[in-house]
Copies of this chain bind each other. A is one copy, B any other.
Amino acid sequence: MVQYAPLDRTLSALADPTRRAVLEHLAGGGATITELAEPFGISLTGMKKHVQVLEDAGLVVTEKVGRTRQCRLGQQRLDDVQAWLETYRRMLDARLDRFGQMLERQKGTTP
């Protein structure tokens, strides 16, 4: 079986609306865990868990600064997700092409 562990982690991390919203927030600039928790109305503990999942997937990096934890976007730019989507779409397109060719051949043989 093919193993895509990093892609699994990325997709799993993205499969939650709060985590996607955290990425969108951080795309506007870095923030502390407290600054991230407030607008989403969730506990610091809850936000820490979400940030940990994003960090494990390489989507976010964090740094302890005094008593706060500063978060910013990581190096992982979702290129792997984009690449898989494109491969899959090419497979779907190839299938449509084959279907079209089959229809053409049928037209050719039907008087």
Contacts and interface: CB of A to CB of B under 8 A. Distances in A.
A85 interface: yes
B18 A88 contact: no
A17 B41 contact: no
Interface size class of A (residues with CB under 8 A): 35 or more
Interface of A: 1-4, 7-9, 11-12, 14-18, 20-21, 23-24, 27-29, 40-41, 73, 77-78, 81-82, 84-85, 87-89, 91-92, 94-95
> Majority SS of interface residues in chain A?
helix
24 contacts: A1-B17, A1-B40, A2-B17, A2-B21, A3-B17, A8-B15, A8-B16, A8-B17, A11-B12, A11-B14, A12-B15, A14-B84, A20-B84, A23-B88, A24-B88, A27-B88, A27-B92, A28-B95, A77-B92, A78-B85, A78-B88, A78-B89, A81-B81, A85-B85
